[in-house]
Amino acid sequence: MKVLTIISSKFKKPFFVVELLTKFTVISGTSSEELAKKLAKKLGANLLKSQLRIFPDGESKITLKGIPQKNKIIVIQSTYPPVDENLIQTLSLISKAKEYGTEVIAVIPYMGYARQDREFLPGEIITMKVVANLFKSVGTTRIIVVDIHSMLGLKYFNIKSENVSAVPDLVKYFSKLKLKNPLVVSPDRGGKERAKEFARLLNTEYIFLEKQRDRNTGKVKIKSTNFDEIVDRDLILVDDMISTGGSIIKATEFLKKQKCNKIFVACTHALLRNDAKEKIIKSGVTKIISTNTIPGKTSVVDISGTIAKAII
């Protein structure tokens, strides 16, 4: 990185322009094309796209559309559904990038299998550990993820790894909204620290709900009692990811009974499988706000700047 001092007749004092020397080539997987484009622009890097073909038997054939010109290569691809397809494509891109570069940085904005980070029931396979080994085996030298579901999962990677938070970017979005005495809410105890940080940056308070999930059926119920501080306030339900929306819906139904005002949902990864979005809105949520780790209609918060800072 170099700094240029420019003196202009328009200004009495010199001002400074930071010029980022191009050090990277960014390779885009098909699941993160727009985010890759934004990231490459932030880094001043060359962008190479990839082409995907799915054969009748379900096999993926991925082709790199160009040759990387830099030794440091960034492969960016989220592994959201279809998880297995996107995962094998990511590993293939990293393997190809390793042929050209001395350093391959895998940026996985949404890391699939992160919830399978331990043996909850006897006989369960810790799939996150398997995935971590695969990333190392194809030549990944460093990995960056965004709000991984469990930090335990990241410990399985025997390479340099980093988790970055999308909370500051989400807070910037909500700080521009005209909210009525906002209160940040975590739908469960596990997300307490995330809600606490969100509330700190937004300069407000937070609470968390107590929920119970049946490991066999997956059903969720709220165990919390009444909260007086909820009455007539706008609430921001904060979570790392939303898949079917079951936890968010249960939390919303509970919070509505406490006579709150509007309820917003803020999450990093909006999977929103099947008709989850419609069910969440129907339960009483005013709006769902998510980042572009997973592209979609709710993905209005860009986290490319945060990823770029982590890379540099």
3-state secondary structure of 161: strand
Listed residue (56, 55, 73) closest to 64, CA to CA: 73
Q: Residue 69 and residue 51: Cα distance in Å, rounded?
A: 19
Q: Residue 94 and residue 264: Cα distance in Å, rounded?
A: 38
Query: Left if phi > 0, otherwise alpha if psi is -120 to 50, otherwise beta: which for 268?
Result: alpha
Token duo for residue 297? 């209609």
Residues recognised as catalytic: 211
Count other Cβ atoms within 10 Å, centred on residue 51.
10
Listed residue (140, 109, 143) closest to 34, CA to CA: 109
Count other Cβ atoms within 10 Å, centred on residue 213.
14
